[in-house]
Structure 1
Amino acid sequence: MKPFTKLSILPFMFALALAFSLPADAAASMQWSPSQQTAIERATAADSALRSKLEALYSSFTSLQSQLQQLDQSISTVHYKNEETQSALTKQIKTIDADKIAKLEQAVKAAKDKYKPLLSMYTALNQQISTAGKLKNKQLSSALKAQADTMKIAVQIAKADIQNKEQALSAAKTQKTTSQKKIRTLLGSADPLRTKIKAEKSTATILNKNVSPLWKSVTQSIRVGDAKKINTDLNNLVNQLKQLQVQKQKILALENQIGSILQNAKAQLTS
């Protein structure tokens, strides 16, 4: 009889724990030892068809572990990239148009400082005109009004200049608020996806808890030399890993969707 070579040469490079799948100790032990392989060879000695099925199942088993590990790595990579992008965007949102608004604020201040002497003088002059009127000093009142009239156009220009700069500042602040709200709303659209990820991870955790018991059933079947039971138990284990794979694919897809939302927000922020 030919040795069960496919089982012996299939490598198991999965000693480390997968982030969402197998505990480290379970992953390290989930391979057939030489003695177990010998037991399998004895159990399938009279049934080459069943031996072929076991070979195919074992091949699927090892392949699934590799795929699960790759999925975990991809999920981790995308997740942490999303976290970094989210953090950076949160900080950048606060500084939208910060330089522009700072310049406009400085322009308003500069204009007010520039025109302050003129406006103060004009205010004081009008107060004097009021006082002269109360004193019924027509000559003084007339002279003060003439002086005020000569300043009136300059005062109007000064007030208009200040007002224009204040309006520009107000418009910039409104635009900043609008932009911040728009981007924050876009970022908020990722929150339901994060909630879904939690649900999918919860399901994956439940599925993962069943892996070790299923593997234990496989090893027990090997111990008693029941080839059909080995086939059934290994098939159940493979199906469990396939379900776990589906869950991880869902998680990765959701993380990628979040990534797309973040990149869209980033593009709007820099536009």
Structure 2
Amino acid sequence: MALRSNRILRWIILFIVGVFIQSYIAPPPPAAAAMEFTDSVKASLEKTAEAVGGKAKTRLIKQYSDLADLQKKINAQDTKTTSLRLSNETQLNKVRKQITNLDADKILKLDNQAKAARSKLQPLLDLHSSLNKQAAAVKALKDKSLYKALKQKADAMKPAINLARLHIRNRNAELKTAKSERTRKTKEIRAVLSQIDAIKIKLKAERSAISSKNKSISTEWKNFKTALKNKDAGRAEDTLNRLGNLSKQILTHKQNMYGLEAQISAIIKKASARLP
């Protein structure tokens, strides 16, 4: 029974870790549409165009050429966007690491100073406290002479004790102020970075739109190859027209994605500028 419980617990932990990791891994760009501008496809197109001849031939070849050019632009845009996205991920990780280590050296130094002050001055404070306790104990025994001697020693230490306590308070106050300042800076920088969340939602919408249009392109491309196989120039022209429109829309979506990544880049730079 215990072994089974351990297995269930291990599975739950692995599941949670997996979800956590997935939430921080940026999704890859949408897969390219299933259009392959091969020599065999081009040869089939040329045969179909030759069969119909005239203006229809010129129009068909131009449509195919324009579509191929569009695909090259889409691929180039993918490369450009992916490069910026990877750069953003690198810079974002760098900023997050800097946030974690924000003022770490300063706070460590102040913490050490506060500890050193307490360690150095605590014996003096303990001695003063001990003298007061001894004086109180002697007073209870009504030994006026010893009480007076102990009290004088304790009172003589008061200026030094007050300075010691002040020094410790100042060191603790400096440490507290530094920690509060770090908390304030951290909140401000993270508030800037949180603006990325809204942009990621927009990126997701663009990817979804591209994915949907890629499915349509896949269907239309199959129809296009079937039309070429049957030497149906009219149907081939219609499918090329639809493929061109879909590809233009996809290019626009991908350009939008680049613009959104550029916004993320600007946000990261803004957050980075607030770091020391």
TM-score bin (small chain): 0.7 to 0.9
Distance 1:112 1:28 in 2: 77
Look up the SS of the partner of 1:32 in the other structure.
helix
Distance 2:85 2:150 in 1: 74
Instruction: Give the aligned residue type for 2:45.
Output: Q
1:129-140 matched pairs, under 5 angstroms: 129-140=135-146
8 Å contact 2:49–2:61 — kept in the other structure?
no
Q: 2:33 matched to which residue of 1?
A: 22
Q: 1:161 to 1:173 in 2, by over 3 A?
A: same
Q: 1:142 to 1:20 in 2, by over 3 A?
A: same
8 Å contact 1:115–1:158 — kept in the other structure?
yes
Instruction: Give the aligned residue type for 2:33.
Output: L
Distance 1:142 1:124 in 2: 15
What are the Cα deviations for residues 33-75 of structure 1, in whole angstroms up to 9, with x where unaligned?
A: 32431221221x2x32x33433432232111101110111112
Q: 2:62 matched to which residue of 1?
A: 56
Deviation at 1:92, TM superposition (A): 1.7
Look up the SS of the partner of 1:141 in the other structure.
helix
8 Å contact 1:30–1:215 — kept in the other structure?
no
Distance 2:36 2:257 in 1: 21
Distance 2:109 2:130 in 1: 31
Q: 1:86 matched to which residue of 2?
A: 92
Distance 2:48 2:60 in 1: 13
RMSD, aligned CA? 1.9
Q: 1:262 matched to which residue of 2?
A: 268
Look up the SS of the partner of 1:207 in the other structure.
helix
What are the Cα deviations for residues 161-220 of structure 1, in whole angstroms up to 9, with x where unaligned?
A: 110000000000001111111111111110121122112111111110111221222233
Instruction: Give the aligned residue type for 2:207.
Output: K
Deviation at 1:29, TM superposition (A): 4.3
Q: 1:8 matched to which residue of 2?
A: none
Matched, 1:122 2:128: yes
1:150-165 matched pairs, under 5 angstroms: 150-165=156-171
Q: 1:34 matched to which residue of 2?
A: 43
Look up the SS of the partner of 2:95 in the other structure.
helix
TM normalised by structure 1 equals 0.85
Distance 1:30 1:200 in 2: 32
Percent sequence identity over matched residues? 33
Q: 1:224 matched to which residue of 2?
A: 230
Deviation at 1:109, TM superposition (A): 1.1
Distance 1:169 1:123 in 2: 26
8 Å contact 1:222–1:230 — kept in the other structure?
yes
Consecutive unaligned residues in structure 1, runs of 5 or more? 1-17
